Amino acid sequence: MDLTVLVDNNTLIDRYFYGEPGVSYFIEAEGKRILFDVGYSDAFIKNARKMNVDLLNIDFLALSHGHLDHTWGLDPLIRIYTEAVLENIPHKKPTLVAHPLTFLTKTVNGLGEIGSIISEEKLSKHFNIKLSKDPVWLTENLVFLGEIERKNDFEAKSPIGKIVKPDFEEDDYLMDDSALVYKSSKGLVIITSCSHAGICNIVEYAKKICDDDRVIDIVGGFHLLNPSEEQLQGTLEYIQKLQPDEVHTCHCTDLNSKIALANVANLKEVGVGLKLEYE
């Protein structure tokens, strides 16, 4: 499997790409091409063009959850597919994989919408849609986890705003937050976005679904943004016990948390343009 970072908060030195507070990854595995999240704007499209990544030739579009920094790039993505039809440019019709709650309205602090600005109905005009709480295998060895089991007592305890359901709204605990996992020959590669479900919960669920306790890398945001002492300490103890070969934390992980993680794990730098390869 090859993973390329199309968008992150950080850009690598002397690599002339666009960064923004968001995430987008391009993944190639077993003959399939997967776009995981689309960031906040068209930055991932601009970066993909610079990297010679063809976004018209993807098989799956997976979304980690509904927040704006992971879904608002859907609008410019739809535009390039629409223009491909108009200009008779060869393209695939990818399958969009996400949790069933991904496209509901989400609000916080008076903001009317921090979720997807494009509805499931409109997206279905452009993509094949597969919404699932259960794991979805995209290839023989790459899985979309669906709804993450939340079992520990130090993560995913605080809601972020409200989620608007058909007849009511309620505190949003981001039950739509999911991740991808690749079963490499040496162990699991866990690819996450914001880890609202809790990075430790995600790893445990990945191990369960893939029936493998070996973890060689964790790539993505850990949602450690001024975390409570309980959450940070619980995460550090878990990662130290897990002992992955490497950890590529990015996006929603603050500096103090990265410094703390570097004391218990082999922490690596992440930025737009980074390419990781796994057997």
Nearest to residue 53, comparing CAs of 22, 30, 88, 28? 28
What φ, ψ does residue 217 adopt, rounded to 5°?
A: -160, 150
What is d(CA 19, CA 247) in angstroms, rounded to the nearest whole number? 21
pLDDT tens, position by position, 9-45:
999 999 999 999 999 999 999 999 999 999 999 999 9
Determine the pLDDT at residue 267.
98
CB within 8 Å of 193: residues ≥ 6 apart: 23, 36, 37, 64, 65, 70, 177, 179, 220, 221, 251
Predicted structure pTM score: 0.97
Which strands sit side by side in the sheet containing 275-277, from one edge to the other? Answer: 128-131, 95-98, 60-62, 32-36, 24-29, 2-7, 275-277
Nearest to residue 94, comparing CAs of 109, 108, 114, 74? 74
Mean pLDDT of 184-190: 97
Determine the pLDDT at residue 110.
87
- Could you tell me the two tokens for 15? 């690599």
If you average pLDDT over every residue of the chain, what do you get? Answer: 97
Which strands sit side by side in the sheet containing 162-165, from one edge to the other? Answer: 105-107, 162-165, 168-171
pLDDT band at 255 (very low <50, low <70, confident <90, very high): very high
Determine the pLDDT at residue 91.
96
What is d(CA 90, CA 54) in angstroms, rounded to the nearest whole number? 11
Mean pLDDT of 146-167: 95
CB 279 within 8 A of CB 186: yes
Mean pLDDT of 250-260: 97
pLDDT band at 223 (very low <50, low <70, confident <90, very high): very high
CB within 8 Å of 98: residues ≥ 6 apart: 62, 63, 66, 130, 131, 176, 178
pLDDT tens, position by position, 72-130:
999 999 999 999 999 999 999 999 999 999 999 999 998 999 999 999 999 999 999 99
CB within 8 Å of 49: residues ≥ 6 apart: none
Does residue 242 carry a pLDDT above 90? yes
Nearest to residue 59, comparing CAs of 96, 23, 88, 5? 96
Q: Which of 130-134, 136-140, 164-168 has the lowest mean pLDDT?
A: 164-168
Give residue 262's Cα distance to chain centre. 22
Domains and CATH numbers, the chain: 2-146+153-277 (3.60.15.10)
